[in-house]
Amino acid sequence: MSATQTAPKPRGRQFFANPGPTNIPDSVLLACAHQTVDFNDSNFIEVYDACVAGLKRVLKTEQTVFLYTGSGHAAWEASLVNLLSTGDTVLILESGHFSISWGKMAQDLGIEVQSVAADWRRGVDMAAVRAALAADAARTIKAVCVVHNETATGMMIPVPEVRAALDATGHPALLLADTISSLGSLDFRMDEWGVDAAVGGSQKGLMLPTGMSFTGVSAKALEAHKSSKLPKHYFHWTNMLQRPLKSFLGTVPVSFFYGLQESLRLIEQEEGLENVFARHSRLARAVRAAVQHWSGNNGPQLFCLNPGRYSDSVTAVLMPEGLNADALRQVALKRFNLSLGGGLGPLGGKVFRIGHLGDLNEPMILGTLATVELAMQVAGVPHTPGGIAAAIASLAAA
C-alpha cells in the first residue's frame, strides 16, 4: 500500500457483538421500510394494537403500556417524571454504570437519591436492600429502581428478590425495573413479579432500530401518577390517555410498528419466547466457557463473580492488570471488523463486553469468539489458547 492510499475497506458484514443496538433480522429491516401511512388509518391502528398486545405478552403484563419516540433514556425519564414529585426519594440498587446513570437522571430531575452500594462484580446484597427499606420508618422512599440486566457489568439482578424485600418489610414504595437489555432475551414477568414500571427499549432483544421505548405501568403506578408533581409534557401519561392511541403526544413512528409486528412474529410464532430464552442461555454459556478458558495463563476473566447472576445477554470481560481493553477492541474492529462493547464509567479501558442478544446463532457466536481470540494473539494479550474448543464443547453438550 502506498503512503497516499488509505486502509482498504473490509469485506463481508461487520460482526456486531455489541450489547445493543443489536443485529436486526433482514425481515424486520424490510418490514420497517414500509411506505408512510396515516397513523389514524384503521389499517395502521390494527397493526398498532396488535403490537401493543404483543409487547404486553413479552412484558408478561395485562396492565398499561405507554410508548415514546426516543431511546431507553426517554422511558427512564418517563418512569420518573410520571411517578414522583420534587424532594421524593428513590432507592437505587447499584449494579454498574446504568444503575448509576438512572440515579443521576433522578437527581437532575430534583429527586433525592439514596443508593444501596454494591461490589460491581457481585451485585447488590439483598440483605442490604431489606435493611435500607426497613430503616425507612418515615416511608420517604417512594420508588426502588433496579436494572434487571446491568449491561455494563454483565449481571442479572433477580427482580423477584427485590419484590420480596419490599414485601418482607411491608414497604409501599413502587418497584421500577429497567428491562432494556433483558426484555426478549431473559425471562421477565412484570405482573407476577409485582413490577410497577417496566422500562424497555426497541434496540436490543426486540431486534429493532434504536429510537422507540416504552414503559409497562401497573394500576398502582397509575394511581401514584395522579399525585406526581414533577414537570412533564411529552411524557405525560394523563395527556397520552386522552390521545386516540393512548400513547405518543406527537407523530407516531409508524415504521417501528411494522418492524415490531415482524419481530414479535419471529419471537412468538417462529421461535417461541421460551425458546428465545433457551437460545440466549445456550449462547451465553458458550461465551462464558471460552472466557473461563482464556483466563488461564493470567488471561482476561469474567467480570461477574456471581454465577447465580451471570447475564445471558452480555458478558463483560476484565482485562489482565495493566492492559487496555480499548486497544484490544481497536485491533478487533480495525483489523477484523468485529465490533465489541467497551467498558463504561469507571470500567472504561478495563473491560470489553461481548453482546450476545437478539438475532444471533451458534456460528455468529463462534465467529465472534474466534476473532476475540485472534485479536488477543495479535495484540499480545496473555491467555490460554483454545477458548473456541471450550465454547464448542459447551454448545455441543447443550
Q: Which of 61, 64, 71, 218 binds ligand PLP (CB under 6 A)?
A: 71
Region of 111-119, 162-170, 178-186, 251-259 interacting with ligand PLP (CB under 6 A): 178-186
In the complex, residue closest to ligand PLP by CB: 72
Cα distance between residue 82 and residue 225, in whole Å: 5
Among 25, 123, 201, 355, contact with ligand PLP (rule: CB under 6 A): 201
Phi first, then psi: give them for residue 370, nearest 5 degrees. -60, -40
362's CB contacts (< 8 A; 6+ apart) are: 283, 286, 395
| 18 lines the binding site for ligand PLP (CB under 6 A) | no
Q: Which is nearer to ligand PLP, 44 or 76 (CB)?
A: 76
**Cα separations in angstroms, 321 against 254, 291, 349, 350, 372:** 48, 16, 11, 8, 18
Per-residue x/- marks for ligand PLP, 238-267, CB under 6 A?
------------------------------
Q: Which stretch binds ligand PLP (CB under 6 A): 176-184, 215-223, 238-246, 386-394?
A: 176-184
Report the residue from 48, 68, 98, 310 that binds ligand PLP according to the rule CB under 6 A. Answer: 98
Task: Verify binding: residue 180, ligand PLP, rule CB under 6 A.
Answer: yes
Phi, psi of 65 (to 5 degrees): -125, 130
CB 149 → ligand PLP: shortest distance, Å?
6
Min dist CB 152 to ligand PLP, Å, is: 7
* CA gap 277, 270 in Å, rounded: 14
Which amino acid, residue 187?
D
- Residue 155 or 289 with smaller CB distance to ligand PLP: 155
Q: Does 20 bind ligand PLP (CB under 6 A)?
A: yes
Could you say whether residue 72 binds ligand PLP (CB under 6 A)? yes
Q: Which of 272, 271, 299 is nearest to 373 (CA)?
A: 299
Contact range with ligand PLP by CB under 6 A, out of 175-183, 258-266, 279-287, 326-334: 175-183
**Span interacting with ligand PLP, options 68-76, 162-170, 224-232, 241-249, rule CB under 6 A:** 68-76
Query: SS3 string of 49-72?
Result: HHHHHHHHHHHCCCCEEEEEECCH
C-beta of 151 vs 228, nearer to ligand PLP: 151
Sole binder of ligand PLP in the list 34, 56, 73, 122 (CB under 6 A): 73
Instruction: Give least dist CB 384 to ligand PLP, A.
Output: 30
Stretch that binds ligand PLP, among 26-34, 67-75, 329-337, 361-369 (CB under 6 A): 67-75
User: Which is closer to ligand PLP, CB of 44 or CB of 102?
Assistant: 102
Q: Does 196 bind ligand PLP (CB under 6 A)?
A: no
Query: Does residue 151 bind ligand PLP (CB under 6 A)?
Result: yes
Q: Which stretch binds ligand PLP (CB under 6 A): 22-30, 71-79, 363-371, 386-394?
A: 71-79
Q: How far is the CB of 146 from ligand PLP (least distance, A)?
A: 10
Does residue 120 belong to the site contacting ligand PLP (CB under 6 A)? no
Cα 63 from Cα 80, distance rounded (Å): 18
Q: How many CA atoms lie less than 13 Å away from 280 in the CB half-sphere?
A: 29
**Bridge-partner residues for 355, per DSSP?**
314
Residue 312 interacts with ligand PLP (CB under 6 A)?
A: no
- Beta pairing partners, 266: none
Of 75 and 381, CB closest to ligand PLP: 75
Closest C-alpha to 259, from 211, 318, 312, 296: 211
Chain residues binding ligand PLP by CB under 6 A are 20, 71-73, 98, 147, 151, 178, 180-181, 201
